[in-house]
Amino acid sequence: LGPVGLFTGYLPPVFWQVRLGWQARGDALWHNGGTGGYCSFVGLDRRRGVAVAVLANAARSVDAVGFKLLGRLTAGTTQGKGT
């Protein structure tokens, strides 16, 4: 999932980058979605070897939960090592 530039027609906040539908926030790459009353979030930190997936059977965003999990899992890791 290397950088390919900004997706035409989408202007993310200054601290984010878009990579073929994946967005970057700090060291994390993430993607979310939803359809028909379901929501999802996938986030990963390749440098630390940590990833999370959050699935919900509700139309509410699960992004905050995903980012919090990813933050807690990466808080105690160092580069190249997951716990």
Torsion of CA 4, 39, 64, 71, to 10 degrees: -60
State pTM to two decimals: 0.69
- How does pLDDT run across 60-69, given as a tens digit for each residue? 999 999 999 9
How far is residue 78's CA from residue 82's CA, in Å, rounded to a whole number?
7
Amino acid at 54: V
- How does pLDDT run across 4-32, given as a tens digit for each residue? 454 445 555 555 566 677 888 888 899 99
Residue 5, judged by CB atoms within 10 A of its CB (0-12, 13-18, 19+), counts as: exposed
